[in-house]
A and B are shown apart, each in its own frame.
Chain A
């Protein structure tokens, strides 16, 4: 199954929830926000949302800026 995460193509061997993907990326403890196919996905829905092939995710954080 192929996903696009922050513009990069990723292959998934087995189906995952958003929460599992975020954990796999080492982001579970970080303050992030996530868009799934252009819509904000609240953190409370990460666990119950299953990823499907062709999904596009954007994961962002706060960094220095003016």
Chain B
């Protein structure tokens, strides 16, 4: 086996070649976002749902004029929601906006400073949305018990944070992510916390099904270049996971034969 061939990410009955999901926030302009998306190889793009600006020029392009929902899977989020009710309302708006599209990223936040999820409201919203026919990808804490419960509710993907949203701190608790993975029957995607390429690789090497990120790309000095780095990091981490890493040893193990030297051995 030289390459992880035919190893798609399956979410809600659709298959994706890329295991990277990127956001569309914080970019300089739509063009930079489009170029980063292209370089990232991602096939799923998150968007936020917000009021239209009533003073807006009707000719001004919108995000979905630049990034086509025909070509990419648009993943509307419930960012900014602090209650199950607001999150459910946002998902219904998104479904209408995207012509009946059922895939959503549920996030119900608990606190503006940490943007940690409000798990109680998240569980409540997840139940309502699943019952209403949504395919729910859910942002949550890295608590294995909560992750399992979200899965049992019927979420199509559980997405624990690696670190706070936009923090770039990397995977702070790989042990919890491992525990979540051990019991998982749906794709586990690290959502939030990734800062640079190696963080994405670490998530994938742990066995995650994918990585979702926004700030790590958009706030890089060169976002399009970072998008390309993330593309490779996610793919490399996945291949390393499938390949199965060597065991860790405390002491050295020589790579060259220790016999047959033409000088006396030590």
Which residues of A are in contact with B by a Cβ distance under 8 Å? 5-8, 25-35, 40, 42-43, 58-66
In Å, the complex CA distance between A29 and B52 comes to 13
Residue of B nearest to A30 (CB): B62
In Å, the complex CA distance between A28 and B57 comes to 12
In Å, the complex CA distance between A31 and B101 comes to 13
* With known contacts A26-B56, A61-B52, A66–B97 Cβ distance under 8 A: no
Which residues of B are in contact with A by a Cβ distance under 8 Å? 23-27, 33, 46-52, 54, 56-58, 62-64, 74, 76-77, 79, 89, 92-94, 96-98, 165-166, 212-215
* With known contacts A32-B97, A33-B97, A64–B48 Cβ distance under 8 A: yes
Docked-complex contact A65 and B24, CB < 8 angstroms: yes
Docked-complex contact B54 and A62, CB < 8 angstroms: no
Q: Which residues of B are found within 8 Å of A30, using beta-carbon distances?
A: 52, 58, 62
In Å, the complex CA distance between A33 and B94 comes to 7
Partner of A61, one of B50, B89, B212, B213: B50
Docked-complex contact A40 and B96, CB < 8 angstroms: yes
Chain B contact residues: helix, strand, loop or mixed: mixed
* With known contacts A30-B58, A32-B97, A40-B96, A66–B51 Cβ distance under 8 A: no
Total residue contacts A-B, CB cutoff 8 A: 102
Give the Cβ gap from B86 to chain A, nearest Cβ, in Å. 12
In Å, the complex CA distance between A64 and B25 comes to 4
Docked-complex contact B93 and A66, CB < 8 angstroms: no
Interface centre among B26, B52, B96 (most CB of A within 10 A): B52
In Å, the complex CA distance between A2 and B145 comes to 50
Docked-complex contact A60 and B54, CB < 8 angstroms: no
Residue of A nearest to B49 (CB): A60
Partner of A65, one of B47, B54, B57, B97: B47
Q: Which residues of B are found within 8 Å of A7, using beta-carbon distances?
A: 51
In Å, the complex CA distance between A44 and B26 comes to 34
Q: Which residues of A are found within 8 Å of B76, using beta-carbon distances?
A: 62
